[in-house]
Structure 1
Amino acid sequence: MTNKTEDRRTLQRERLIETAEATIAQSGHAALKARDLAASVGVSLGGLYNLVGDLDELLLLVSARTLRRLDAALAAQTGEDPVESLVGAALAYCRFARDNLGLWRAVFEHHPDAVPDWHVETQLGLFRHLLEPLRRIAPHRSEDQRKLLARTWFSAVHGVVLLGLEEMLVAVPYDALEAQVSEMVRALCAGARQG
């Protein structure tokens, strides 16, 4: 393959990912249709599958972009006080989910048969924003205990945010959601210091 052909293919692949991202942001991941994507990028249906293996791979690529943007939002909350860092990260997560609802939902609703290692690493990389403050809050716990705690706390915040944004069951209304998430994380921090 010549450099010109490789460059064109790289540009088409990037345009495909951007198009899929825009579609998911507007209409959700169920709205992705291979023919529509191929037409919007200017390739044949077969040409689409020369750019990505299948729609699962494309969804994983979009998901990884979403996770990298979330990572940047969480990184911006890192500060001196570990409790405030965790509260800030939880609120950043809440706001990111609210502002990127379709893309955020796709991260959790898309279940491919196999998740490649590079995507798992992208997911797990987010936990560093919890682990560093937890090392200072709960130095008496082992690293494995803190890793489990980070996953549990993420699940708790995610669940409250999901129910609130989807207005499910006995969800906290959004105008109170951020305050409740903040209070929950502060309570978790107080418990981790004592336990």
Structure 2
Amino acid sequence: MGRRSDHSRKELEALILVEGHRHMAEVGFARFSAREVAKRVGYVVGTLYNVFGSYDRLIAAINTQTFDLWTEWLEERLASDPPDRIAALVAGYFSFAQAHANLWMAIYDHRMVEDMPIPDEMAERRGMLTEVVVREVAAVLPQEAQPLAPRLARSLVATVHGHCTFALNGSFALLGETDPLAMATARVKESLAAAGARF
């Protein structure tokens, strides 16, 4: 019998997120089991759905934790004020994906159903990652190009994501590409230079 009154709802939510995030890191999205998370926290699986509302909301909450971790990862790499912050940003994207492959892929493997949008609080936390990129892009653009920063940042994230995915799944190796990080960094800098960026 699962524990039913050992924790407040807030404590239980935090406990489930810790174990859910750990389980996702271990097995990835395809093998993720809410039942296993429930077992780890000592409650029945229905408790997880009572706390989060649904399986999809549970996964969304776990993935939002990953966004928090990813944002911290990038900020830590930029905190030392590297001489080439754009290169450091791209390298940080790659290194996070490599170090946390299951968590990183789970963000893209999970799809919320159309009538169940991401809650505002989660969307705001997820958006912090993009804000880091927008900030760094804006810093290298001339004043007249500043309004382009948000849109350009989103496009550059997509570019880096594609290169990173090909690197992790072995596609670049099959194509004979030996330095996908350098390739991604070059594409990003070319796009920024076209917008007038100075490095």
TM class, shorter-length? 0.7 to 0.9
Q: Provide the C-alpha distance between the structure 2 equivalents of 1:102 and 1:134, rounded to a whole number of angstroms.
A: 28
Residues 70-116 of structure 1: CA deviation (Å, up to 9, x unaligned): 10111124369898212111100100001100000111111112222
TM-score, normalization by structure 1? 0.83
Indicate how the Cα distance of structure 1 residues 8 and 65 shifts in structure 2: closer, same or farther if over 3 A, else same. Answer: same
TM-score, normalization by structure 2? 0.81
> SS state of the match for residue 78, structure 2?
coil
Which residue pairs with 1:43 in the alignment?
43
Q: Provide the C-alpha distance between the structure 2 equivalents of 1:80 and 1:40, rounded to a whole number of angstroms.
A: 38
- 8 Å contact 2:77–2:92 — kept in the other structure? yes
Task: Measure how far apart 1:137 and its partner are.
Answer: 2.2
In structure 1, runs of 5+ residues without a counterpart are none
| Identity over aligned pairs, percent | 22
> SS state of the match for residue 30, structure 2?
helix
Q: Provide the C-alpha distance between the structure 2 equivalents of 1:132 and 1:70, rounded to a whole number of angstroms.
A: 16
Q: Provide the C-alpha distance between the structure 1 equivalents of 2:184 and 2:175, rounded to a whole number of angstroms.
A: 10
- 8 Å contact 1:164–1:173 — kept in the other structure? no
1:140 to 144, 150, 155: 144
> SS state of the match for residue 84, structure 2?
helix
Q: Provide the C-alpha distance between the structure 1 equivalents of 2:194 and 2:174, rounded to a whole number of angstroms.
A: 24
Question: Map of 1:59-78 to 2, 5 A cutoff?
Answer: 59-78=59-78
Q: Does 2:87 correspond to 1:87? A: yes
Which residue pairs with 2:189 in the alignment?
186
RMSD across aligned positions (CA): 2.8
Q: Provide the C-alpha distance between the structure 2 equivalents of 1:171 and 1:181, rounded to a whole number of angstroms.
A: 17
- 8 Å contact 2:16–2:37 — kept in the other structure? yes
In structure 2, runs of 5+ residues without a counterpart are none
Q: Provide the C-alpha distance between the structure 1 equivalents of 2:123 and 2:87, rounded to a whole number of angstroms.
A: 25
